[in-house]
Amino acid sequence: MKTTIQLNNESLNCDLSQPIDISLAIQHQDGVGAWYIDQPQIKHVEVDGYVGNVKLGGSTNFNNVHFNPHSHGTHTECIGHITPEFYSVNDALKTTFFKAQLFTISPQQQGDDLVITASMFDDLQDDVTAVTIRTLPNSLDKKEKNYSNSNPPYLEEAAALRFRESGINHILIDLPSVDKEKDNGALRAHKAFWNYDGEQRLQATITELIYVPDHVKDGLYLLDLQVAPIENDAAPSRPILYQLL
């Protein structure tokens, strides 16, 4: 189903019947995790004789879901993640469609760290507003990896600054954070991208813990950034890519 979408005075052609889902779902006791907390809990309700499980005799399945959006599954966050003031990711996205560029990156060894540097994005195009980053190696283990205490790769401050200065409003990455796991709260990439110490970018978002399959080629895409309507600094999200024709 070929469709033409008008986006920022540009006509983009894509096939909406061929979505590429790059999200990781929140799962009960399984799936990706980070930040030293337990896995999500999805459990049926039992109250006043009612059992919210059809297999156990209930009339419906009726579950409570306990999770942390930053730790469990793909999530999108706004500047409210690092500010004393409350900002909701539910207010950050006024539209959901963006022109995105997908990069496959091999992080660079720097001491004990693996770092994603600004020079790795020399091919960044001028007319995109979102960047999607797939890191190597890209094994299926990413879908269920526990990143706690693993010092995963991260984005150097200069790369985040380059994105900001290039007009990138949305970063999507297959890691638990754009910053180093243990940096004593410096959060340099977050702060550079959101311009924390200047005119703060309330419309900009960071999406973490995505997964881009190997068969998806680097290049330009239409991104549909779908975020759960929760009034919080972060919420589960389901980014979808569509290959531009």
Q: What pLDDT does residue 137 have?
A: 97
Q: What is the DSSP letter of 39?
A: P
With a cut of 90, say whether residue 130 has pLDDT above it: yes
Q: Which residues contact 122 (CB under 8 A, 6 or more apart)?
A: none
pLDDT in tens, 162-171: 999 999 999 9
Mean per-residue pLDDT, 185-208 = 98
- What whole-number percentage of the chain has pLDDT above 70? 100
For residue 89, what is the enclosing H or E element? helix 89-92
Superfamily (CATH H level) for 2-243: Putative cyclase (3.50.30.50)
Chain mean pLDDT for the chain: 97
With a cut of 80, say whether residue 213 has pLDDT above it: yes
Name the pLDDT band for 240 (thresholds 50, 70, 90).
very high
Name the pLDDT band for 177 (thresholds 50, 70, 90).
very high
Q: What pLDDT does residue 64 have?
A: 97
* Neighbouring C-beta atoms of residue 214, cutoff 10 Å: 11
Distance separating alpha carbons of residues 32 and 38, to the nearest angstrom: 11
Mean per-residue pLDDT, 194-198 = 98
For residue 198, give Cα distances in angstroms to 18, 77, 138, 215. 40, 19, 36, 40
Q: What pLDDT does residue 30 have?
A: 83
Sequence spans of domains, the chain: 2-243
Distance separating alpha carbons of residues 204 and 26, to the nearest angstrom: 24
- Tokens at 47, concatenated: 């109250």
What is the chain's percent helix, strand, coil content, to nearest 5?
A: 15, 35, 50
Q: What pLDDT does residue 8 have?
A: 87
Mean per-residue pLDDT, 222-237 = 98
With a cut of 90, say whether residue 138 has pLDDT above it: yes
pLDDT in tens, 5-58: 999 889 999 999 999 999 999 999 889 999 999 999 999 999 999 999 999 999
With a cut of 80, say whether residue 180 has pLDDT above it: yes
Mean per-residue pLDDT, 96-105 = 98
